[in-house]
Chains A and B, each alone.
Chain A
């Protein structure tokens, strides 16, 4: 059992949620509430990471992060290391790959709030920020929760993007799913089996948690 890989995987999952959730809430709400030109194109772009093969996505991210790109150069001058094959690069790649898993459920969550409930909140004297915090977020909560859990589960299972952008550096970019592949290549079936079972257990627990939480929210809503 590669405990370091498990730690990298969990950190990556938690970090991706931490980066993506605030952005996803802002952007998902924007798409749900506002009508603007080119909205269809924006929605399509948001979905792209979902349909691209992970290797293709990984390839473009490598180009984006590379030493010749402005982003790559900026990161290198700031952090003194390259963005590809680092945990930071992997985190950024993971955040980009998970955009559709975050934005879509949150957008649906905000869309499900009837517009007259929003209007009623304004007519109750709530400022835009109070409406957001006290009415909209609690009502969109099932969508936000789904987004967080999907992101976490998807990050743990991600393989293609991790291998392309992160490589296989122990303690830095070797996640559990890459470690399984690594062990299989070395004919270490026992370790691979244990780690696969660990991922399976995490997946089952996560899904149970989602069902329980959403049922509890459902009871509250009736």
Chain B
């Protein structure tokens, strides 16, 4: 782990059982994903120092924040932590700029106003700096909360369900903004969410939490292409997530040409710029397997692939097939019968057939 990264280990039996250990490097976004009541927020509160688990060892930005074994505990106001709370928790009696300036106590008072103005400009709110929270929309409040969290010049940025209180379109825009921001920040980001859409769009690493226990933790592409995570299958359906680059936009044919480590793909047209990096999610249910390259289909994508693993789903009729396509792993969910009929085994060469419309492309659209 990098010296400026975040390392967390929390354990306790009661009142809320917790057993989690992870690290997050600067520039990474670790998504803690789990159902409500799984202990996500408690972990976030432990990092911020708002909750004291029985056993904790938390280091960030080269400082020890918690170490129960050594009796070290830094209270929240001594931790360089930026938190965006679920309901934003803005100070209702202060204006937008007043909210941001409250978190600038570590700066000389002469600098605070200009620094707060810069941060509000960064989140596209310079026009609204004298408004109070109740005069702002949900998305605008979230931006103030984000600016306030960044004002602290935090060693770690924590986001607790940051999009739960805004509608779908605002959510997309905010996701894109945070994604853009994290590329320039160079600090670890921890994102708490129960919506896999946030994970697909923002996370680089994923921790799956169930009843306070981490059941899997790793790079997003690795975890989403694993066949042995029934919990993820039940919660959101399996589907691998990987990065791709926009090659060209063919508006006439309504297609978007994408290049990834295993070749090229066509997805339904979106207003994306050529050269942009995007995330793709291909649901396992949307991948069809064929032993030879099919002809005469409406399909755009037939990727040559090798079967790398086959896993049952614990007694059901479905089977999860893991495929290697160049440098990327895909998952296909097929029936047990299909495996027998096609005579598939590990090492078999197949074609993965994917409809262009079933590729979920996550990236910032050109406005």
Q: Is A114 in the interface zone, CB < 8 Å from B?
A: yes
**Judging by beta carbons under 8 Å apart, are A220 and B93 in contact?**
yes
**Judging by beta carbons under 8 Å apart, are A124 and B135 in contact?**
no
- Interface extent on B, as a size class? 20 to 34
Q: Is A122 in the interface zone, CB < 8 Å from B?
A: yes
Q: Is B103 in the interface zone, CB < 8 Å from A?
A: yes
Instruction: Knowing A123-B48, A123-B82, A126-B102, say if A117 contacts B89 (CB, 8 Å).
Output: yes
Most buried by A among B45, B92, B106, B135: B92
User: Which of B73-81, B208-216, B253-261, B318-326 contacts the other chain?
Assistant: B73-81
Partner of A121, one of B79, B91, B106: B91
Instruction: Knowing A119-B50, A120-B83, A124-B148, say if A114 contacts B77 (CB, 8 Å).
Output: no
Partner of A125, one of B77, B85, B89, B90: B77
Q: Is B134 in the interface zone, CB < 8 Å from A?
A: yes
**CA gap between A122 and B149 in the complex, in Å:** 12
Q: Is B105 in the interface zone, CB < 8 Å from A?
A: yes
Identify which of residues 241-261 in chain B touch chain A, using a CB-to-CB cut-off of 8 Å. none
Instruction: Knowing A124-B103, A124-B152, say if A119 contacts B89 (CB, 8 Å).
Output: yes
**In the assembled complex, how far is the CB of residue B15 from the closest CB belonging to chain A, in whole angstroms?**
14
Partner of B92, one of A122, A126, A128, A139: A139
Q: Is A221 in the interface zone, CB < 8 Å from B?
A: yes
Q: Is B87 in the interface zone, CB < 8 Å from A?
A: yes
**In the assembled complex, how far is the CB of residue B171 from the closest CB belonging to chain A, in whole angstroms?**
20
Identify which of residues 60-119 in chain A touch chain B, using a CB-to-CB cut-off of 8 Å. 114, 116-117, 119
**CA gap between A154 and B318 in the complex, in Å:** 76
**In the assembled complex, how far is the CB of residue B85 from the closest CB belonging to chain A, in whole angstroms?**
5
List of B residues within 8 angstroms of A116 by Cβ: 85-87, 89
Instruction: Knowing A117-B91, A139-B93, A221-B134, say if A127 contacts B77 (CB, 8 Å).
Output: yes
List of A residues within 8 angstroms of B106 by Cβ: 125
Instruction: Knowing A122-B50, A125-B77, A134-B102, say if A222 contacts B87 (CB, 8 Å).
Output: no
List of B residues within 8 angstroms of A170 by Cβ: none
**CA gap between A135 and B99 in the complex, in Å:** 10
**CA gap between A121 and B149 in the complex, in Å:** 11
Instruction: Knowing A222-B134, A222-B135, say if A124 contacts B102 (CB, 8 Å).
Output: yes
Most buried by B among A119, A123, A128: A123
Partner of B89, one of A114, A126, A138, A220: A114
List of A residues within 8 angstroms of B152 by Cβ: 123-125
Q: Is B132 in the interface zone, CB < 8 Å from A?
A: yes
The residue in chain B whose Cβ has the minimal distance to the Cβ of A123 is B83
List of A residues within 8 angstroms of B77 by Cβ: 122-128
**Judging by beta carbons under 8 Å apart, are A122 and B134 in contact?**
no
**CA gap between A119 and B106 in the complex, in Å:** 18
List of A residues within 8 angstroms of B76 by Cβ: 119, 122-123
The residue in chain A whose Cβ has the minimal distance to the Cβ of B98 is A134
List of B residues within 8 angstroms of A221 by Cβ: 92-93, 132, 134
**In the assembled complex, how far is the CB of residue A149 from the closest CB belonging to chain B, in whole angstroms?**
20
Partner of B103, one of A117, A125, A127, A138: A125
**In the assembled complex, how far is the CB of residue B42 from the closest CB belonging to chain A, in whole angstroms?**
13
**Judging by beta carbons under 8 Å apart, are A120 and B91 in contact?**
yes
Instruction: Knowing A116-B87, A120-B85, say if A125 contacts B93 (CB, 8 Å).
Output: no
The residue in chain B whose Cβ has the minimal distance to the Cβ of A119 is B50
List of A residues within 8 angstroms of B92 by Cβ: 117, 139, 221-222
**In the assembled complex, how far is the CB of residue A215 from the closest CB belonging to chain B, in whole angstroms?**
15
**In the assembled complex, how far is the CB of residue A34 from the closest CB belonging to chain B, in whole angstroms?**
16
The residue in chain A whose Cβ has the minimal distance to the Cβ of B86 is A116
The residue in chain A whose Cβ has the minimal distance to the Cβ of B134 is A222
**Judging by beta carbons under 8 Å apart, are A119 and B134 in contact?**
no
List of A residues within 8 angstroms of B105 by Cβ: 124-126, 130
**CA gap between A124 and B77 in the complex, in Å:** 7
The residue in chain B whose Cβ has the minimal distance to the Cβ of A221 is B92
Instruction: Knowing A119-B50, A123-B50, A123-B83, say if A222 contacts B89 (CB, 8 Å).
Output: no
**In the assembled complex, how far is the CB of residue A146 from the closest CB belonging to chain B, in whole angstroms?**
17
List of B residues within 8 angstroms of A135 by Cβ: 91, 102
List of A residues within 8 angstroms of B149 by Cβ: 123
Q: Mark A11-37, 1 if CB is under 8 A from B, else 0.
A: 000000000000000000000000000
The residue in chain A whose Cβ has the minimal distance to the Cβ of B152 is A125
List chain B positions with a Cβ less than 8 A from chain A: 45, 48-50, 75-77, 79, 81-83, 85-87, 89-93, 102-103, 105-106, 132, 134-135, 148-149, 151-152
Please name 14 pairs of A and B residues whose Cβ atoms are closer than 8 Å in the assembled complex, sorted by A.
Answer: A114-B87, A119-B50, A121-B102, A122-B49, A122-B75, A123-B48, A123-B81, A124-B77, A124-B151, A124-B152, A139-B93, A221-B92, A221-B134, A222-B135
List chain A positions with a Cβ less than 8 A from chain B: 114, 116-117, 119-128, 130, 134-135, 138-139, 220-222
- Ranked nearest first, the 3 interchain pairs of A and B with the lowest CB-CB distance are A222-B134, A122-B76, A120-B89
